[in-house]
């Protein structure tokens, strides 16, 4: 991205181009109501659908949602199966509606561990929607940033071993191009719900210059107001990308 484009990506009117969300708090939402955790995830899926609409409305062009991490396999088998079922139903049932709304669907994460029929569903969803002009919805499923970087490093190593790539050609761009997110812009804003303030192995490479907003709102309650509040916080930040930025309190001698 050019420096000019970067500098205009925050400020009073700016809408972040790419928003990534760690959707957290489904379990606590259910627990607070004496409901099973699964009900929290079901309501979480409703919040996901609502957020896709709200994000498109707000002018966001890329929305990445962390829906299952490489570490989530450690959860009880029943919960893992339920989350796999939710993804399956989401891809099957929502696909036509998303397609008609012009949404481009992408799934990132390690597909090798997924059942063959689920992989086929994902591939069909991506193929059907790839030419769509609207919001790009990226679902991170069986995703872990370290796993993604290891897979990218392995791909580079294999190309070097095969004599197709020189070690000196291993640059930031070369590694980026082998990540699951190769054709996506880096996130401008990362939101985590439920009051937790961890990154949890999410987009560690891609979020190098992202702004982070942590909100106490539990994911099933995440609504337009919560999204707008996160965007408002983003607008108040000054993004400097390692530079010194414009006139700041520092440059006039104020701490």
**Three-class secondary structure assignment of the chain:** CCHHHHHCCCCCCCCCCEEEEECCCHHHHHHHCCCCHHHHHHHHHHHHHHHHHHHHHHCCCEEEEEEEECCHHHCCHHHHHHHHHHHHHHHHHHHHHHHHCCCEEEEECCCCCCCHHHHHHHHHHHHHHCCCCCCEEEEEEEECHHHHHHHHHHHHHHHHHCCCCCHHHCCHHHHHCCCCCCCCCCCCEEEECCCCCCCCCCCCCCCCCCEEEECCCCHHHCCHHHHHHHHHHHHHCCCCCCCCCCCCCHHHCCC
**What minimum distance in Å lies between the beta carbon of 208 and ligand FPP?**
24
**Which residue number, 16 or 220, has a Cβ lying nearer to ligand FPP?**
220
Task: Give residues in contact with ligand FPP (CB under 6 A).
Answer: 23-28, 41, 44-45, 48, 67-68, 72, 83, 86-87, 90, 139, 194, 219
**Which residue number, 62 or 239, has a Cβ lying nearer to ligand FPP?**
62
**Active site residue ranges:** 24, 72
**What minimum distance in Å lies between the beta carbon of 69 and ligand FPP?**
7
**Which residue number, 18 or 41, has a Cβ lying nearer to ligand FPP?**
41
**What minimum distance in Å lies between the beta carbon of 212 and ligand FPP?**
17
**What minimum distance in Å lies between the beta carbon of 211 and ligand FPP?**
22
**Which residue number, 192 or 239, has a Cβ lying nearer to ligand FPP?**
192
Give the residue nearest to ligand FPP (CB). Answer: 27
């Amino acid at each position: 991205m050019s420096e000019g484009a970067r500098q205009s990506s925050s400020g009073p009117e700016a809408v972040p181009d790419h928003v990534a969300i760690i959707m957290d708090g489904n379990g606590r939402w259910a627990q607070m109501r004496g409901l099973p955790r699964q009900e929290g995830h079901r309501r979480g899926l409703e919040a996901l659908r609502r957020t896709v609409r709200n994000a498109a409305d707000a002018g966001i062009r890329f929305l990445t949602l962390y829906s299952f991490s490489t570490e989530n396999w450690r959860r009880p088998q029943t919960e893992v199966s339920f989350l796999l079922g939710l993804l399956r139903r989401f891809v099957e049932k929502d696909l036509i509606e998303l397609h008609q709304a012009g949404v481009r669907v992408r799934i990132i994460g390690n597909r090798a561990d997924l059942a063959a029929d689920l992989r086929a569903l994902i591939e069909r969803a991506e193929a059907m929607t790839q030419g769509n002009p609207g919001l790009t919805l990226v679902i991170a499923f069986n995703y872990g940033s370290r796993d993604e970087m290891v897979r990218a490093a392995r791909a580079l190593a294999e190309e070097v071993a095969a004599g197709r790539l020189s070690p000196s050609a291993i640059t930031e761009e070369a590694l980026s191009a082998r990540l699951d997110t190769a054709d996506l812009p880096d996130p401008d804003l990362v939101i985590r719900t439920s009051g937790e303030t961890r990154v949890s192995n999410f987009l560690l490479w891609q979020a190098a210059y992202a702004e982070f907003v942590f909100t106490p709102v539990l994911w099933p309650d995440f609504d337009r107001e919560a999204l707008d509040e996160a965007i408002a916080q983003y607008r108040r930040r000054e993004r400097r990308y390692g530079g010194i930025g414009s006139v700041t309190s520092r440059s006039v001698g104020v701490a």
